[in-house]
Structure 1
Amino acid sequence: MASLTFKAVAAALLLGSCATAMAANDGQARASQLLSSDPQYRETWQGVVKKEERLPDWVINLTGYSEQMSGVEEDKAKYLVGQLCETQQSCTTQRLIVAFSWDKKDAYALLVQVPAGLPADKSPTRHADYRWLGKPDKGMQQVLDEQLKKDPNWY
Structure 2
Amino acid sequence: MWISFKTLAFVLLSSASALASAANDGQARASQLLNADPQFRETWQKVVQKEERLPEWVMNLSGDAEQMNAVEEDGDKYLVGPLCETTQSCRSQRLIVAFAFDKKHAYALLVEVPAGLPADKSPTRHANYRFLGKPEPGMQELLKEQLRKDPNWY
TM-score normalised by L of structure 2: 0.83
| Deviation for aligned residue 1:90 | 0.5
Aligned to 2:109: 110
Identity percentage over the alignment? 77
- Structure 1 segments unaligned to the other structure (5+ residues): 1-25
> Secondary structure of the residue that 1:47 maps to in structure 2?
helix
| Deviation for aligned residue 1:27 | 6.8
Aligned to 2:146: 147
| Deviation for aligned residue 1:125 | 0.3
Q: After superposition, what is the alpha-carbon deviation per residue over 1:99-152, rounded to whole angstroms, capped at 9, x for unaligned?
A: 000000000000000001101111100000000000000000011000000011
| Deviation for aligned residue 1:28 | 1.4
TM-score normalised by L of structure 1: 0.82
Amino acid at match of 2:50: K
Aligned to 1:91: 90
Q: 1:1-150 alignment to 2 at 5 Å? A: 28-150=27-149
Between the aligned partners of 2:118 and 2:94, the Cα distance in structure 1 is 18
Between the aligned partners of 2:77 and 2:150, the Cα distance in structure 1 is 22
- Structure 2 segments unaligned to the other structure (5+ residues): 1-24
Amino acid at match of 2:110: L
Q: Is the 8 A contact 2:69 2:81 kept in 1?
A: yes
Query: Any runs of at least 4 consecutive aligned residues in structure 1 with deviations exceeding 2 A, and if so which?
Result: none
Q: 1:27 to 1:143 in 2, by over 3 A?
A: closer
| Number of residues of Structure 1 aligned to a counterpart in Structure 2 | 130
Between the aligned partners of 2:123 and 2:75, the Cα distance in structure 1 is 32
Q: Is the 8 A contact 2:26 2:70 kept in 1?
A: no
Between the aligned partners of 2:107 and 2:152, the Cα distance in structure 1 is 23
CA RMSD of aligned residues (A): 0.9
Q: After superposition, what is the alpha-carbon deviation per residue over 1:22-57, rounded to whole angstroms, capped at 9, x for unaligned?
A: xxxx67110000000000000000000000000000
Q: Is the 8 A contact 2:92 2:113 kept in 1?
A: yes
Amino acid at match of 2:126: H
| Deviation for aligned residue 1:153 | 1.1
